[in-house]
Amino acid sequence: MLAPIKDLYTYNDAKIAIVGLGYVGLPLSLRFTSVGFKVIGFDINQQVVNDLNQSKTHIEHISNELIESANQNGFVATTNFALVQECDAVILCVPTPLNKYREPDLSFILTTMAQILPYLREGQVISLESTTYPGTTEEKLKPLIEQQGLIVGEHVFLVYSPEREDPGNPNYCTQTIPKVVGGTTPNCLEAGIALYEKVIDKIVPVSSTQAAEMTKLLENIHRAVNIGLVNEMKIVADKMGINIHEVIDAAATKPFGFTAYYPGPGIGGHCIPIDPFYLTWKAREYGVHTRFIELAGEVNSSMPLWVVDKVADALNNHKKAINGSRILILGMAYKKNVDDMRESPSLELLHQLLHKGAYVEYSDPHVKCLPKMRKYNFELCSVELTASSLSLYDAVVLATAHDAFDFDLIERASNIIIDTRGYYKHNSSKIIKA
């Protein structure tokens, strides 16, 4: 059965189901469509489905024109999971958050599987792209599929291939980021490679789904630990009166043995704040305490409070308290030039400042209004930056350094600037490094 299945992908005759049309699933849908595959996108959000079918994007860096082109080439969005039966491949791109105890929440994966299980059939390739702990594909998905009477590796082909999207990165896209693929069996791996090799420039096969799952975690834990290190170094340097950004830039001139990571108000996005805890949770099953990873998590999660303390010190030097002060946060997205607010440290910074009695507003050209989120509900909208508006705030906190900001205006018109990104390289009495 494997040979004719591989031929479907070789000749672009396969129909692809992509479940979850967010920051991972939508770009992947567009890529498959662009090379001639027919794609059905599945999402539980009816508004997202309606907008996509009307060529309207819900992700800022993906244009309406790209959606319209995909629609003209046969892309359709739907909430009807029965259409999975028509598809030759099913790719799961659903969220994997943490619960309130910082434990893995697989509810989106398991709910999605419950919806598609009745419509699975022989010959399909099933790929999980959601970040998760090693063993999820084998321990959770494989038994559910085989309960349907389908033998993995013979009737259907199960793989894990972690997403590697980096929204807003102009240097890499879905096509050019190498794709790691691990299969439950050798036949599964071959099927997985066939699925992706027409749309991704480089495929990186690994020996198992567990190895692929661990690869994704290592990538993001590497970043989380190094960011934690440099955030801690920032605190030490600050106490010593040293500019940590100057130190990092100088160290980065070494052509080997050093990779530059930069401090900030905390870590954001769906990966770095979440993924390390998937491994720490699973490691406990094997009697391993991941002290290094958890320490980095503690340092990074403490950064919003560090910034709040810097705001308090700056106001205190002007004989003011946080309570009752007007504070403006610049940037609610977790990284510059995107509209993605998932796990953004700016949200916690806003929460903490409000909790201390400040009157807080924000400005972000990429986030017009703050939506209701699982943890926060602020009901705020972005304010326009002008010389007169900036002058009304007792302190301005630069949390995300969007290119769209007029930094000269901000410096000229603001009373105090708490710079958490090291944007301002020069010294000034009104700029406080945080």
Q: Which positions are annotated as active-site residues?
A: 271
Reduced 3-state DSSP string for 241-292:
CCCHHHHHHHHCCCCCCCCCCCCCCCCCCCCCCCHHHHHHHHHHCCCCCCHH
Tokens of 153: 């590796």
Containing 2, the helix (H) or strand (E) segment is: helix 2-10
User: Whole-angstrom Cα distance, residue 280 to residue 294?
Assistant: 8
Cβ(271)–Cβ(258) below 8 Å: no
3-class secondary-structure state, position 308: helix
**Block residue for tokens 């099913």:** 90
3-class secondary-structure state, position 404: coil
Containing 42, the helix (H) or strand (E) segment is: strand 38-42
Tokens of 251: 């160290």
Cβ(130)–Cβ(97) below 8 Å: no
3-class secondary-structure state, position 299: helix
How many other C-beta atoms lie within 10 A of the C-beta of residue 189?
Answer: 22
Cβ(78)–Cβ(49) below 8 Å: yes
Q: Which of 220, 96, 166, 162 is nearest to 336 (CA)?
A: 166
Per DSSP bridges, beta strands 15-19 and 431-433 are unpaired
Q: Which of 350, 205, 195 is nearest to 268 (CA)?
A: 350
Polymer length of the chain: 434
**Block residue for tokens 């490679």:** 193
User: Whole-angstrom Cα distance, residue 208 to residue 160?
Assistant: 8
Distances (CA, A) of 264 to 113, 231, 364: 38, 7, 17
User: Whole-angstrom Cα distance, residue 180 to residue 129?
Assistant: 10
